[in-house]
């Protein structure tokens, strides 16, 4: 069973489905105003590894991830470019889906957008007003009153002085994002302003648009109910976003909201925070232009422990490319012994193999998703196992176990490229003799020479016009 650190209780807890069958979880999705950067993808890839480990571990899942298609940033960017908001966000949503697919992330089961759920958000605001947790300001905006919710600050472990100040001063925050030192009543519904252009909707409090925090409460409530198993996002979302979400959800709907909070630590580039001004903000496309594959980025993002900052470097991408090639060669060597095709993710979810030499790697994954430790175990198994010495049955079983871990990490193995090896003259002579026998259609001689080569530790793979020799 998977054990995972929980931000709320600050302990490692087992990940459990309330109904014992299907783990229902919510991930905050992208704000679709530009291509997601590799920091965003760190979070999405780690969440994908989480889902894979849960599913391979025997639970079904219901994965909900929203699309933030209306907020301060999406409106500002679409206005700057003179493109209607919906058209603008659709383009970036498509790009996000393409990148997720390239990075081998399983699509969520439900992917609701904020604009398509205005009615649900209005209903939540009304409930909060009716229950005394929200109030309407002079300009027609509606704010959540944080002093009305005693547990405000529990998730972010806010300092009580900061908290008291925020509660008594009754300051208000009307931007979507703000820092911990501005604990304040936060906006649920923003009254229409000239800079919003056409992006407003009617409400009982006048025209306006929802605040960012509200959408996740509305969506999680609609698709997962008042209490669900787990909620996830990057660490930057702990405050204010998730703190506000808990307050809204619990005050409007009752229930516990999420029972487990899973946050992914940030990715840094060359030791620094990513920023446009430092010129160190990469998208997947930027890396592809530098000759790196999505598979290498997947390896880098999935292979780092999610509770430590990941220091991204281009040298790390090169190492990842080399590591993937080693894994691919091992898989290929097993495939040549075992025959047949590789088991798919779905096959492995349905029929969990005996893990044998790969059991320690699985144990590391179940221990707080310790992916670097898991990869360490995989490579040490690779050093010990000699595919050429396995029977076809043993090779097939080993391949299933190996693939189980590869699929848990969602790694994409490139087609194997044979290592350049020196072929001794006597082996080359046997191979040439066999090739000639093959061309002469002397199958008996060709087969016996192939067996002779195998005894000497070499395999011969026939192409259309030439052959390739590999050392077993
Ligand atoms: P956004 O599109 O800004 O709403 O962010 C999408 C997801 O990426 C959220 O879960 C963020 O917490 C996460 N995120 C943003 N920056 C980083 C980063 N540098 N490293 C890891 N995750 C990040
Ligand atoms: Zn959210």
Encoding tokens for residue 56? Answer: 């391979």
Indicate if ligand 1 lies below 6 Å from the C-beta of 30.
yes
User: 216 CA distance to ligand 2 centroid (A)?
Assistant: 5
**Residue 120 pLDDT exceeds 90:** yes
pLDDT at 311 over 80: yes
- Residues less than 5 Å from ion ligand 2, measured at CB: 28, 216
Of all protein residues, the one whose alpha carbon is nearest to atom 9 of ligand 1 is: 234
Instruction: Assign 176 a pLDDT band (cuts: 50, 70, 90).
Output: confident
Mutate to test the pocket of ligand 1, among 26, 36, 43 (most ligand atoms within 8 A of CB): 43
266 ligand 1 Cβ < 6 A: yes
Give yes or no for residue 42 CB within 6 A of ligand 1.
yes
CB 212 within 8 A of CB 176: yes
Q: Whose CA is nearest to atom 5 of ligand 1?
A: 30
What is the percent of the chain where pLDDT is above 70?
A: 96
* Residue minimizing CA distance to atom 8 of ligand 1: 40
Beta carbon of 31 within 6 Å of any ligand 1 atom: yes
Q: Ligand nearest 65 Cα, by number?
A: 2
Helix/strand/coil percentages in the chain, nearest 5: 50, 15, 35
What is the tens place of the pLDDT at every residue in 122-168? 999 999 999 999 999 999 999 999 999 999 999 999 887 777 767 67
pTM: 0.88
Which mutation among 38, 39, 93 tests ligand 1's pocket best, with the greatest number of atoms within 8 A of CB?
A: 39
Q: What is the pLDDT of residue 180?
A: 65
**Alpha-carbon separation of residue 421 from 333, 373, 424 (angstroms):** 15, 31, 9
To the nearest whole percent, how much of the chain has pLDDT over 90?
84
Q: CA dihedral defined by 270, 271, 277, 279, rounded to 10 degrees?
A: 10
Ligand 2 geometric centre to CA of 148 (Å):
22
């Amino acid at each position: 069973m998977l054990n995972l650190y929980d931000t709320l209780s600050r302990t490692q807890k087992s990940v459990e489905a309330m109904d014992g069958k299907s783990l229902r979880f919510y991930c905050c999705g992208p704000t679709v105003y530009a291509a997601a950067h590799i920091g965003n993808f760190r979070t999405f890839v780690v969440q994908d590894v989480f889902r894979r480990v849960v599913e391979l571990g025997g639970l079904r899942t219901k994965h909900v991830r929203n699309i933030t298609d209306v907020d301060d940033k999406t409106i500002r960017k679409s206005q700057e470019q003179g493109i209607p908001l919906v058209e603008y966000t659709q383009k970036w949503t498509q790009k996000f889906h393409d990148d997720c697919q390239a990075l081998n992330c399983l699509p969520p089961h439900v992917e609701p957008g904020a604009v398509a759920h205005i009615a649900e958000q209005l209903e939540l605001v009304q409930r909060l007003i009716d229950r005394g947790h929200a109030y309407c300001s002079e300009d027609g905006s509606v704010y959540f009153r944080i002093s009305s919710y005693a547990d405000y600050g529990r998730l972010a472990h806010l300092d009580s002085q900061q908290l008291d100040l925020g509660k008594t001063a009754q300051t208000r925050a009307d931007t979507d994002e703000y820092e911990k030192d501005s604990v304040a009543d936060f906006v649920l519904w923003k009254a229409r302003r000239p800079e919003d252009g056409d992006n407003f909707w009617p409400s009982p409090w006048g025209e306006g648009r929802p605040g960012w925090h509200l959408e996740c409460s509305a969506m999680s409530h609609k698709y997962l109910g008042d209490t669900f198993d787990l909620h996830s996002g990057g660490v930057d979302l702990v405050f204010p976003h998730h703190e506000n979400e808990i307050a809204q959800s619990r005050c409007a709907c009752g229930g516990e909201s999420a029972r487990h909070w899973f946050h992914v630590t940030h990715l840094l580039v060359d030791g620094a925070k990513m920023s446009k001004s430092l010129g160190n903000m990469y998208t997947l496309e930027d890396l592809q232009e530098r000759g790196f594959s999505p598979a290498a980025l997947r390896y880098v993002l999935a292979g780092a422990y999610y509770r430590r900052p990941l220091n991204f470097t281009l040298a790390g991408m090169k190492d990842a490319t080399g590591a993937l090639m080693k894994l691919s060669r091992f898989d290929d060597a097993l495939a040549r012994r075992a025959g047949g095709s590789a088991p798919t993710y779905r096959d492995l979810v349905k029929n969990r193999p005996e893990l044998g030499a790969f059991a320690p790697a699985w144990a590391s994954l179940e221990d707080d998703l310790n992916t670097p430790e898991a990869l360490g175990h995989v490579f040490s198994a690779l050093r010990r196992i000699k595919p050429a010495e396995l029977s076809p049955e043993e090779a097939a079983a080993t391949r299933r176990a190996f693939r189980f871990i590869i699929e848990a990490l969602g790694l994409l193995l490139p087609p194997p490229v044979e290592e350049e090896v020196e072929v001794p003259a006597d082996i080359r002579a046997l191979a040439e003799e066999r090739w000639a026998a093959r061309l002469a259609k002397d199958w008996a001689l060709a087969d016996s020479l192939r067996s002779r080569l195998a005894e000497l530790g070499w395999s011969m793979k026939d192409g259309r016009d030439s052959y390739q020799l590999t050392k077993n």
